[in-house]
Amino acid sequence: MDFSIPDELIALRQSFAAFLDREIRPLEEEYGREFWGEAPDRDVLAPVIQGIRRRSAQEGFYAAYMPEEAGGQGLSVLGTSLLVEDAARSGMRLAMAAIAPPNPAGPSPLLLKLPPHLWETYVLPVAAAEKTMCFALTEPEAGSDAQAIRTTAVRDGDEWVITGHKHYITNGEHADFAIVFAVTDAEKRAAGGITAFVVPSDQFRRGKLQWNLSDSHPAELFFDEARVPADHVIGEVGMGFFEAMAFLNSGRAYIGAQSLGLAEWALDAAVEHAKVRTAFGKPLGKNQGVSFPLARSKADIEAIRWLVYHLAWRVDTEGDPLAIMGDASITKYYSTEQAYAVADRCLQVFGGMGLMREGPIERVLRHLRMLRVVEGASEVQLLVIARTLGL
């Protein structure tokens, strides 16, 4: 077993770190306070975030995980996971805009299943950050049980007519188009009866913004007999769930990498605070009530690290995605749960300061709390893990 990071990925991380310091840090210092209010001014932040995406795309980072013919570099899942980790560990809210995963605004590999003549419209502009997209699966009556979706698609000549309601859709507010999952065979459903479509924004109606506890807020989308050409099917009709499954494991790695980076940032901040803040005549870190929780957090972070790196390596080297689904669920479950626990301990070290919006930990804790739910809640991951045990 070789646990070393390849030299070319080390060089890539160094280049990305320099990009974050050069391009993102000045913007973070200028616009970071926009996140502090209860309702951040999204009209101010949206063009800043879009500018970061485009600049990162020009530098080759934003969609590096896409193949070269689709505007990327063909970067491995391990390499992409390292960039996601580094963006999160930087402590800058705006840094996560510089690398598309795990944000669905960036290009999904699912788009590669579109006919080649549609790439100029949907694939290449998203890889260049000239457009954004969203992933529209979740519905009011279908969350963890995604096969229970009610949105339907009916063939009408050379078009598909899509009717339904999606919610909790990240980047639904700004997306130029959506990847929409709809039932095309009510009897087969997930076993060959759910199809994925590309639907341009002029064919759906945006509902209210759904404010949640993180800094990213999803939206409702309504499809009122939306019409798309027959060639806007992703892959094959009825195979939408199977198409998405092929990229599920890499998504778990990216969520794990983000959790890892955020936990590292929280621990770095708490350790520094414990060294310089004094109480009862000595630094906080000289008290076991502070040093032991931080030591435990370091151990947890290293466990998260190797779960994430190992999963990314397996995705890169394993041909059968079903063979590593258990590892993917273990990584998603453990990384989000333990990173949240780490951030909670680190917030406690800061005391009252830790509760402040302008503090270093509060927004990390909120984001990690969200990650325990999205992309498959922890309980769903435990269900998958239990099945790998034959239970």
**E strand or H helix that includes residue 264:** helix 248-276
d(CA 21, CA 323): 39
Q: What is the largest CA-CA distance in the chain?
A: 80
User: Distances in Å between the alpha carbon of 208 and those of 103, 181, 217, 221, 271?
Assistant: 20, 20, 10, 9, 41
d(CA 112, CA 118): 10
Omega before residue 102 within 30° of 0, cis: yes
Q: Is 375 a catalytic residue?
A: yes
Catalytic residue among 34, 236, 375, 379: 375
Q: Which pairs from 142-145 meet CB under 8 Å and 24+ separation?
A: 143/168, 143/377, 144/376, 144/377, 144/379, 144/380
Q: Which of 352, 367, 361 is nearest to 266 (CA)?
A: 361
Take residue 129 and report the two structure tokens written for it: 């950050």
d(CA 14, CA 20): 10
Residue with tokens 């969203």: 134
Phi, psi of 209 (to 5 degrees): -75, 135
d(CA 347, CA 294): 11
Degrees to nearest 5, angle at CA 371 with 376 and 6? 95
Contact predicate 64/81, CB 8 Å: no
Take residue 156 and report the two structure tokens written for it: 């009408």
Query: From the centroid of its chain, how far is CA 59?
Result: 21
Take residue 345 and report the two structure tokens written for it: 């301990």
Amino acid at 391: L
The set of catalytic residues is 375
